[in-house]
Amino acid sequence: MSAADERNEEIALFRDMVLRFLEQEVLPNYEDWEKDHLMPREMWNTMGAAGMLLVDFPEEYGAAGASFDVCQMIQEEMSRLGLHGLATGYNIHANIVAPYVLNIANEEQKNHWLPKMATGEVVGAIAMTEPGAGSDLAGMRSSAIKDGDEYILNGSKTFITNGIHADMVIVCAKTDPNAGSKGISLFMVDTSLAGYATGKKIEKMGQHSSDTAELFFDNVRLPASALLGEEGKGFVYLMKELPRERLGCAVQAIGHAQGALDLTADYVQERKAFGQSVSQFQNTRFKLAECRTELEMCRALLEKYMIKYESSEMTVTDAAMLKLASTEMQLRMVNECLQLFGGYGYTDEYPISRFYRDARVQTIYAGSSEIMKEVIARDIVGR
């Protein structure tokens, strides 16, 4: 058996496990979580016990040691089934925060955090965005000033996914307020520390079961061991790790768009109008054909860049193009699918309405479409 065949078999086995888990543990409860506007904290432990967290991490940290594709497949299946809120929280924890720790932390830090993240004992979040800065990371005001062997952290962050349940948050803060982007450092902040506070859950248009919060730091004393990597290199680390985050957004976009297409294809074949199936109208057929074609083009782009990512060749521009193309496709496609449901698509009785709400944020977080265009343009004609 070739390496490719072994990898495909591994993905197939994990997919079967993931689908069984989602069908048994998540789908029967998801509507309640959406109504509660929060997923239960214990679900992280349940996912950890099922071996779904940090699947592509080394076994020495209590992980499965599977391939990178498996982590992406889990997000795609969650999104395809309409569990976009869960997929987003999962992406932050397993596809963003954990890789920061694996790639940047020292061995002592890895041994402290990663096994707990693999079991769900620790939920991870990352705090970059601030109320007045948005996507302008260099404009952040949160500071971590050195005081002997400690740092004193002050400031606030907003729109933080997993902010309510987080046990450890990677916080971006300025250790040198006068050095611009070169003065940013990253810290692994234990949320039990004095001076750390979580604001009330931010209510959103969609992804209701995903917790999103404001975070506040009031003279939080951080030990030197909380520093992630080297002081002053936070911006460099962010630029290095952002491509995987944006790749994860693309995976969710493609899974979610596929789920919307599946729902719509079933509906238009069942729905009757003017004496025939809605699927027999030329407009319906042409719209579905356009959606399928756009989806497959983005899937091909994703496959191309996943190969580049695994060989450490994926650039910031590659990631920007992938996120821009896939998330904009997702919005257009879910909109077209909802339209084919007619008035029923606007009701909560049909899941397509949740697909529509949940998709909207995809062109905003992890770098808005406008920021993605600027990143791409700079690679073409400079600043």
- Report helix, strand or coil for 348: coil
Q: What are φ and ψ of residue 351, in 5° steps?
A: -60, -20
Cα–Cα–Cα angle for 314, 318, 321, rounded to 5 degrees: 155
Give the integer Cα–Cα distance in Å for 93 and 137: 21
Q: What is the dihedral sign for C-alpha 252, 248, 83, 209? A: negative
Give the integer Cα–Cα distance in Å for 130 and 108: 30
- The catalytic residue among 23, 245, 296, 328 is 245
pLDDT of residue 1: 64
CATH fold of 235-381 reads Butyryl-CoA Dehydrogenase, subunit A; domain 3 (1.20.140)
Which candidate, 232, 234, 220, 231, places its Cα nearest to that of 191? Answer: 220
Q: What are φ and ψ of residue 291, in 5° steps?
A: -60, -50
Buried b (16+ CB within 10 A) or exposed e, 342-367: eeebeeeebbbbbbbbbbbbbbebbb
The CA-based dihedral angle spanning residues 120, 126, 131, 134, taken in that order and rounded to the nearest 10 degrees: -130
CATH architecture of 3-122: Orthogonal Bundle (1.10)
Cα–Cα–Cα angle for 116, 122, 128, rounded to 5 degrees: 125
pLDDT of residue 269: 97
Q: Tens of pLDDT along 95-124?
A: 999 999 999 999 999 999 999 999 999 999
pLDDT tens for each residue of the chain, 383 residues long: 666 677 788 889 999 999 999 999 999 999 999 999 999 999 999 999 999 999 999 999 999 999 999 999 999 999 999 999 999 999 999 999 999 999 999 999 999 999 999 999 999 999 999 987 666 676 789 999 999 999 999 999 999 999 999 999 999 999 998 888 899 999 999 999 999 999 989 999 999 999 999 999 999 999 999 999 999 999 999 999 989 999 999 999 999 999 999 999 999 999 999 999 999 999 999 999 999 999 999 999 999 999 999 999 999 999 999 999 999 999 999 999 999 999 999 999 999 999 999 999 999 999 999 999 999 999 999 98
Domain 125-232: CATH superfamily is Butyryl-CoA Dehydrogenase, subunit A, domain 2 (2.40.110.10)
Q: Tens of pLDDT along 183-240?
A: 999 999 999 999 999 998 999 999 999 999 999 999 999 999 999 999 999 999 999 9
Contact 251, 79 (CB under 8 A): yes
Contact 171, 142 (CB under 8 A): yes
The CA-based dihedral angle spanning residues 57, 60, 63, 67, taken in that order and rounded to the nearest 10 degrees: 40
Give the integer Cα–Cα distance in Å for 297 and 354: 24
Model-wide pTM > 0.85: yes
Domain ranges for the chain: 3-122, 125-232, 235-381
Same topology for domains 3-122 and 235-381, yes or no?
A: no
Q: Is 245 a catalytic residue?
A: yes
- Report helix, strand or coil for 336: helix
Tell me the CA distances in angstroms from 118 to 47, 97, 134, 145, 202, one per residue in order: 9, 12, 30, 31, 27
